[in-house]
Amino acid sequence: MFSNAHFELAEERVEQEREAQVAAARADLRRDGADECVDCGQQIPLARRRAYPAASRCINCQTEIEREVYCR
């Protein structure tokens, strides 16, 4: 019904999709976070952005979020 060529083609596609997912994940890790906090709109200090480039919240808003999540 299916030849080895079909299975090889399917394996190639799976590998291509996996490579694309890895590339997208690496790009996400390299991308800079926001300049402004998504919650309060204040500018995120440069020191925080350097320490955690993917930061999307200022330290005050991030602290509040973590309190809500971890201190229930």
Do residue 50 and residue 23 come from a single domain? Answer: no
Note the pTM of the prediction, 2 decimals.
0.52
Do residue 43 and residue 65 come from a single domain? Answer: yes
Do residue 45 and residue 72 come from a single domain? Answer: yes
Residues 40, 36: Cα–Cα separation, whole Å: 8
Residue 44's nearest CA partner among 36, 53, 52 is 36
Q: Evaluate if residue 32 carries a pLDDT over 70.
A: no
Do residue 21 and residue 52 come from a single domain? Answer: no
Residue pair 43/35 in contact by the 8 Å Cβ criterion: yes
Q: Evaluate if residue 42 carries a pLDDT over 70.
A: yes
The residue behind tokens 């979020």 is 65
Do residue 23 and residue 47 come from a single domain? Answer: no
Instruction: Tell me how far apart the 2 most distant CA atoms of the chain are, in Å.
Output: 62
- What the block records as the tokens of 54 is 């993917």
Q: Evaluate if residue 27 carries a pLDDT over 90.
A: no
Q: What confidence tens digit (pLDDT) does each residue in 7-23 have?
A: 788 889 889 999 988 88
The SS3 assignment for 2 reads coil
Structurally, the chain folds into a number of domains equal to 2
